[in-house]
Amino acid sequence: MARVELSHLHKFFDDNEVVRDVNIEIEDGQFVVLVGPSGCGKSTLLRMVAGLEKISEGTIRIGDVVVNDIPPKNRNIAMVFQNYALYPHMTVAENMSFSLRLRGESKEEIESRVKRAAGILGLQALMDRLPRQLSGGQSQRVAMGRAIVRDPHVFLFDEPLSNLDAKLRVQMRTEIKALHQRLNTTTIYVTHDQVEAMTMADKIVVMHDGVVEQEGTPLDLYDTPANRFVAAFIGSPAMNLVSGTVAGGAVHFTNGRGLVLPVGDGYDGPRDRRLVYGIRPEHIDLVPTGGVPAQVVVVEPTGAETQVLVRIGDIDLVMMVRDRVPLRPGETVGIAPDLGRVHLFDEESGRRVR
């Protein structure tokens, strides 16, 4: 295991800067997820750590060693790719042992490590199969086993679950998290799926256009997003975001076109500039009396919860109701945002003001 430190990293492709002054500290044994939309620079950053992309500026340390000029094979890292990258002519056992054979490990040591990894991942019955005889989930386990046998200081995962179906993704993310808890190896994991990030990470790093927008624990980012981008990206369904201003002696938020939402007592924030009001769907309640009148547009029951799209003025809001509610499109209901969970962002800069 090892600590990883990324200091003032930049990456240019010709004149295009795709990673911009990134600074991240990853503690020994920590599971860190880099998350963001496609093209944000997260996979490029991971490949820089692996040594597969040359650093334009900055420093990468693994443990106490600066690895900028150290080739990938000597960095003591193991990488699991999106497409598994198994050798098609080799059996599962041969795929898993290949790197050890290249390193000249003894036959006994190779057999011991491969057997241990196969036991951890439940691959014992598959050792003589070829990759074409494996399912997607089995192939991903083999790719993980090939990484485990190397006993690396750092695991790198580049969107390893994106080729799997939804049910298998849920199963595999649980297995990867359990694997990390068992091995306690420093792990850097790249995904565009914020649910993966929330459920797996010790620390999340949110990236956008090559910049780190915010880093912290999953609940830190969920409860106190630093800006509008993080607020919109973290959470499923996404946070409702509405542009307008704070006005009135009773303090309310309005867009001037029929939308009026409460802000809460004791508000002492800005009233002289455009703001964005944010409230998560799960923080809006149905109320039998009072509340803000809203028209039901769409009702989507999911079993344990009901997702409801409501309209106030010319704005649609999504709310998540915990119970099964007999709502019908077109009817008017009363809704009440949890005032302790209302977020306000500056519309121009996107930064959080409350």
Residue 265 has pLDDT above 80, yes or no: no
DSSP annotation of 268: -
Paired tokens of 233: 């990206």
CATH class entry, domain 4-233: alpha beta
| Residue 185 identity | T
Query: At residue 267, does pLDDT exceed 80?
Result: no
pLDDT at 191: 95
Residue 4's pLDDT is what? 97
In this predicted structure, what is the pLDDT of residue 57? 97
For 74-93, write each residue's pLDDT tens digit: 999 999 988 888 999 999 99
User: Which residues share a beta bridge with 272?
Assistant: none
Mean per-residue pLDDT, 208-225: 97
Confidence of residue 234 (pLDDT cuts 50, 70, 90): very high
pLDDT at 165 over 80: yes
Topology (CATH level 3) of domain 240-346: OB fold (Dihydrolipoamide Acetyltransferase, E2P) (2.40.50)
pLDDT in tens, 139-163: 999 999 999 999 999 999 999 998 8
What pLDDT does 266 receive? 72
Cβ atoms of 23 and 49 within 8 Å: the answer is no
Confidence check: pLDDT of 121 > 80: yes
**What pLDDT is stored for residue 249 in this prediction?**
62
Q: What is the dihedral of CA 7, 12, 18, 20, to 10 degrees?
A: 30
Instruction: Sketch the domain layout of the chain as residue ranges.
Output: 4-233, 240-346
- Which stretch of 230-234, 245-249, 259-263, 310-314 has the lowest confidence by average pLDDT? 245-249
Amino acid, single-letter form, for residue 271:
R
The 10s digit of each residue's pLDDT in 46-72 is 999 999 999 999 999 999 999 999 999
Name all contacts of 182-185 with Cβ < 8 Å and 24+ positions apart.
182/120, 183/148, 184/1, 184/29, 185/1, 185/29, 185/152, 185/153, 185/154, 185/155
Provide the pLDDT for residue 155. Answer: 96
What pTM was computed for the model? Answer: 0.91
Of the candidate ranges 255-259, 273-277, 295-299, the one whose mean pLDDT is the lowest: 255-259
Supply the pLDDT for residue 323. 81
In this prediction, what percent of the chain has a pLDDT beyond 90? 79
- Determine the pLDDT at residue 252: 85
Query: pLDDT tens digits, residue range 293-349?
Result: 999 999 999 888 999 999 999 899 999 998 888 899 999 999 999 999 999 999 999
- In the prediction, which pLDDT does 250 show? 62
C-alpha dist (Å) from residue 87 to 132, 142, 145, 238: 10, 11, 14, 40
What is the phi/psi pair of residue 88, to 5°?
-65, -25
The full DSSP string for 320-345 is: EESS-----TT-EEEEEE-GGG-EEE
